[in-house]
Structure 1
Amino acid sequence: MTVGLTVTHRRYVPYSHAHYGGALVDGAYVLGMFGDVATEVCIRTDADEGLFASYDDVQFRAPVRAGDVLEATAVVVAAGRRSRRLEFTARVVCRADPERGPSAARVLDEPIVVVTATGTVVVPPPGT
């Protein structure tokens, strides 16, 4: 079944991706993760990597910092003949804790939702 399929990726955000003061990471980093989970959705549903057609909405809700562990999830909420509508959520599940030491980090009691989005992917017609 396509609708309801959920794919989740986790990734550590390296300090080399810090782009702004305070070790902030640009929003495009999370959008890249959304593209990766969307690709896996297409592979699982259609045995093809598919193409990202559009975002309908992107909300940057909290900062992403170097040293975070991000979890990006895509859920298929609608499926047409060649299109799949996806809802995306990115959460910080672990965060660096430099006040305790240069390599200290912690697992968050409650993940922080940092980005939400909706978008559409398309796949080739069946049999092509």
Structure 2
Amino acid sequence: MSGGAREGLTVTHRRYVPYSHAHYAGDLVDGAYVLGLFGDVATEVCIRADGDEGLFASYSDVQFRAPVRAGDVVEATAVVARVGTRSRVLEFEARVVCRGRPDRGASAAGVLDDPIVAVTATGTVVVPGPGV
């Protein structure tokens, strides 16, 4: 059941980025992949806070800060920054927490001591009003 929308509510997902998602040289993944992850964490925020999947209305800011590559493990987090009657402003951050190490072998990988902030964003979701 709904816990009630509140500022500071945080949801985090982790996902391995498969090689099938690499579109560019160097096994780079397009930015839309991370925006999809942000949509997933936003949906869970809405479910936890409002008992409804909600709808993503807009991004007011997206910053691509570092590359995401196939073989990475990416952690996507959404934090409720502001709560309106039907809208919730969310702050997003995607961090690379594990990365492949092809210099050590074809399937070598490691946990990063310092995660890499790859994408940040601010977005707004809307949920049904009371009694809907």
Bin for the TM-score computed over the shorter chain: over 0.9
Residues of 2 paired with 1:126 and 1:66: CA distance?
Answer: 42
**Structure 1 SS opposite 2:71:** coil
So what's the TM-score if we normalise by structure 1? 0.99
Q: Does 1:22 align with 2:26?
A: yes
Of the three residues 112, 123, 128, the one matched with 1:119 is 123
Q: Does 1:75 align with 2:79?
A: yes
Instruction: Tell me by how many angstroms 1:127 deviates.
Output: 1.4
Question: Which aligned segments of 4 or more residues in structure 1 are displaced greater than 6 angstroms?
Answer: none
- Counterpart residue type for residue 83 of structure 1: S
Query: Aligned residue for 1:59?
Result: 63
Give the alignment's Cα RMSD to 1 decimal.
Answer: 0.6
Residues of 2 paired with 1:126 and 1:71: CA distance?
Answer: 32
Query: Aligned residue for 1:35?
Result: 39
Q: Does 1:98 align with 2:102?
A: yes
User: 1:49-100 CA deviation, whole Å, 9 max, x = no partner?
Assistant: 0000000000000000000000000000100000000000000000000110
**Structure 1 SS opposite 2:112:** strand
Instruction: Tell me by how many angstroms 1:2 deviates.
Output: 1.1
Question: Number of residues paired by the alignment?
Answer: 128
Residues of 1 paired with 2:97 and 2:73: CA distance?
Answer: 6
Query: Aligned residue for 1:48?
Result: 52
Residues of 1 paired with 2:130 and 2:76: CA distance?
Answer: 28
Instruction: Tell me by how many angstroms 1:27 deviates.
Output: 0.1
User: 1:13-54 CA deviation, whole Å, 9 max, x = no partner?
Assistant: 000000000000000000000000000000001000000000
